[in-house]
Copies of this chain bind each other. A is one copy, B any other.
Amino acid sequence: MTLDRIDRQILALLQEDGRMTNVDLAERVGLTAPPCLRRVRALEQAGVIRGYHAECDPSQLGFPITVFAMVSLRSQAEQDLAAFENHVAAIPEVRECHMLNGEIDFILKIVAADLESFQRILTTKLTSAPNVASVKSSLTIRSSKSQVGVPIA
């Protein structure tokens, strides 16, 4: 799907405020409501817009701790990589799992209620998982930037 300037404006605005009303959106991009809504629906259908999400405060929901875990596996065969991905898919505290090139095979973003529960996840579910060679984890002190999505010019 090719995106023109107005499409990009729409995406930038909805990325910023996903609950903006269609009439506001239309006004901001210089259209009337119907064509604006058609563009939004087209962007959704094309998968450019994957969904809409409320951003919640992890602390207030009982997850004040965020940890990054760098995982190296013993085998990098595709089936072993996929097996690890399936393994972490079932751990709700693991919010992100990215396969990387280089020495580190995966980086995980993990949330936890406290250090003890993080330690429990780490030892019972990660370091002890099949094929895991090493897990190096770092606590997040603070996050100065955590923007959603991508820059839209």
Q: Which residue of B lies closest to A147 (CB)?
A: B95
Chain A binding surface SS class: mixed
Q: How far is the CB of A32 from chain B (nearest CB, A)?
A: 20
Copy total for this chain: 2
Q: Which residues of B contact A89 (CB under 8 A)?
A: 144-145
Contact of A145 (CB < 8 Å), options: B49, B88, B142? B88
Q: Do the beta carbons of A18 and B15 come within 8 Å of each other? A: no
In this assembly, does A31 line the interface, its C-beta being within 8 Å of a C-beta of chain B? no
In this assembly, does A148 line the interface, its C-beta being within 8 Å of a C-beta of chain B? yes
Known: A68-B100, A101-B139. A52 touches B150 (CB 8 A): no
A76-B102 Cα distance, complex, nearest whole Å: 27
Known: A52-B52, A96-B145. A63 touches B140 (CB 8 A): no
In this assembly, does A53 line the interface, its C-beta being within 8 Å of a C-beta of chain B? yes
